[in-house]
Structure 1
């Protein structure tokens, strides 16, 4: 099985948003500033967790994209995440992900369950991270403990992801239909050490350390309907 090639060059903070269109005019900068001082942005203010990981195209798993997630809890069993191509102020919104508990997952029809992926490998391998709030400042033991505790919950969740903007092929605007995405479930599905290592350099993190910190997290049994991209690949 050929390993996936991941696009993570766009995840460094770009000087521009790399999208087609004229630069924002002074008129709109002024109007946006004024509106921002008056309007209430409650839905986005509920975002409480930032994550970084890699998504693979379900229809073409040799393609994958590094993705920054900004998530809010709808309730104890469901989260919703806005996905961006970078953590910077010029980031492009490229998709959405929903995460649900195993209990909710099992209530879904079988065909629906096949659209969802597990997070076990993402967590246990050290691929999935909560970037430190101060960038390249080395995370403290307290931050490591917070992240590890959060991963104890995420490891059980199932995710459903659609990307709306195929930035990895150079699209300057969102083109085509939404693309169902999935995540990796085992070593050898993409060049893990290279891609995750390059990501770690930018975020000041270390997947090896995270893997060690998470070794005591118990791996849940993954439902047979999940992770269908890799199930089909054997």
Structure 2
């Protein structure tokens, strides 16, 4: 992993020594139980539902609420000073089927993200590649069967230094040719994270796909 960026491009003065000290002290005595539930770091690209020509790399830190619901905090990088971009919820097809048609329009599938190799689970340095590939594929076998609902609060891709405007509904890419500069963008990400979307696409060929139903993925079907 590359070193911590000096500037996270957020408006405001650098963090003071006083705040750093208070932060360290609080971390020693307070409970961060919800955050400690996070069990997976996923990296992929989201598209703006109102303008799918815009895409942004997003780091997901996800926890299970139960066997059918996940919730993820989204960041613009995997570094300690990363900005929170938004949130994503993931649910099973059974729960998706209980949603009203207008609500289903807000949800997307993860099939293309998984099968194309775009969605990855960045590997910790000391874990052997072969071991991690097995673990990652197990995770992908679950994610590929889930529907997601995403809102971004901070449009860092346009240079905003604060979270401006209303929350933006996001979606995933669902097919070839939808993401502009796919190979360049995903390739640059792979170079930083030490991943390879082509290899992942190959080893995920046999992963069972979700049969997308209802009004999911409406950005690409309207």
Q: Distance in 1 between matches of 2:3 and 2:31?
A: 30
Alpha carbons of structure 1 residues 66 and 187: separation in structure 2 relative to 1, 3 Å: same
The CA RMSD over aligned residues, in Å, is: 1.4
Corresponding residue of 1:91:
82
Q: Describe how 1:203-218 pairs up with structure 2 within 5 A.
A: 203-218=193-208
Q: Describe how 1:11-22 pairs up with structure 2 within 5 A.
A: 13-22=4-13
Write out per-residue CA displacement over residues 157-178 of structure 1, whole angstroms, 9 at most, x where no aligned residue: 0000000000000000000000
Write out per-residue CA displacement over residues 117-173 of structure 1, whole angstroms, 9 at most, x where no aligned residue: 000000000000000022xx6852111000001111110100000000000000000
Corresponding residue of 2:173:
184
Output the TM-score relative to the length of structure 2. Answer: 0.96
- Aligned partner of residue 11 in structure 2, secondary structure: coil
Q: Is the deviation greater in 120-129 or in 217-226?
A: 217-226
Corresponding residue of 1:228:
218
2:114 maps to 1:123: yes
- Alignment counterpart, residue 160 of structure 2, candidates 168, 171, 182: 171
Segments of structure 1 that go 5 or more residues without pairing to the other structure are 1-10
Q: Distance in 1 between matches of 2:82 and 2:141?
A: 29
- Aligned partner of residue 64 in structure 2, secondary structure: strand
Segments of structure 2 that go 5 or more residues without pairing to the other structure are none
Q: Distance in 2 between matches of 1:220 and 1:27?
A: 50
Q: Distance in 1 between matches of 2:210 and 2:3?
A: 33
- Deviation beyond 2 Å, 4+ runs, structure 1: 11-14
Q: Distance in 2 between matches of 1:67 and 1:14?
A: 16
2:77 maps to 1:49: no
Write out per-residue CA displacement over residues 184-208 of structure 1, whole angstroms, 9 at most, x where no aligned residue: 0001011211111111000111011
Q: Distance in 2 between matches of 1:13 and 1:228?
A: 38
Aligned residues: 220
Are the counterparts in 1 of residues 104 and 215 from structure 2 also a CA contact under 8 Å?
A: yes
Are the counterparts in 2 of residues 12 and 86 from structure 1 also a CA contact under 8 Å?
A: no
Q: CA deviation at 1:224?
A: 3.5
Q: CA deviation at 1:25?
A: 1.2
Alpha carbons of structure 1 residues 186 and 139: separation in structure 2 relative to 1, 3 Å: farther
Q: Distance in 2 between matches of 1:90 and 1:215?
A: 36
Q: Distance in 1 between matches of 2:165 and 2:221?
A: 26
Q: Distance in 2 between matches of 1:16 and 1:39?
A: 28
